[in-house]
Amino acid sequence: MNSWGRLIKQKTIEVYRYPNNGFTYNEYGELVTPTPERLEIQGSYPQRVKANKLLTLPENVQSRETIRLFTKEKLRMAREGDSGFLSDTVVHDDDEWEVVRCEPKLVGHLNHYDVIACRKQIAPDNKVTESRDAYND
């Protein structure tokens, strides 16, 4: 086990990632999201985001419920454009959390990523839910 694993209490975090180029549009011009793939990464236990960190987020995120975690793997935030992709979805306490920030923290032998995720809407698009059900069967 590396030194990061000995110093930080870790757990397995369930993450769903959408493919880079799987976007299609229906006849109304609405985005049809592809089925995400499941990843299991090691990270810290999710914790509450402090007020000073919330102020650095965009206004539309500041009012939403957020969590913060630290991981060794980089998680993806949404990227716009032709080569864009949807953000990763973290599952914690049976809620889906959308990654809104992933910053590298370079501290020598303890390099990691500081991740902030916002809880997704109550009525999900069912893509992650369907994928979770398929992996649990």
Amino acid at 65: E
Its domain, for residue 33, covers 3-136
Q: Inform me whether the pLDDT recorded for 6 exceeds 70.
A: no
Tally the domains of the chain.
1
pLDDT tens across 80-107, in order?
A: 776 778 889 999 888 889 999 999 988 8
pLDDT tens across 41-77, in order?
A: 988 888 888 888 887 887 777 878 889 999 989 999 8
CATH number, residue 17: 2.40.10
Residue that the structure tokens 């006849």 belong to: 27
Which of 112, 88, 83, 85 is CA-nearest to residue 100?
Answer: 88
Structure tokens, 119: 């809880």
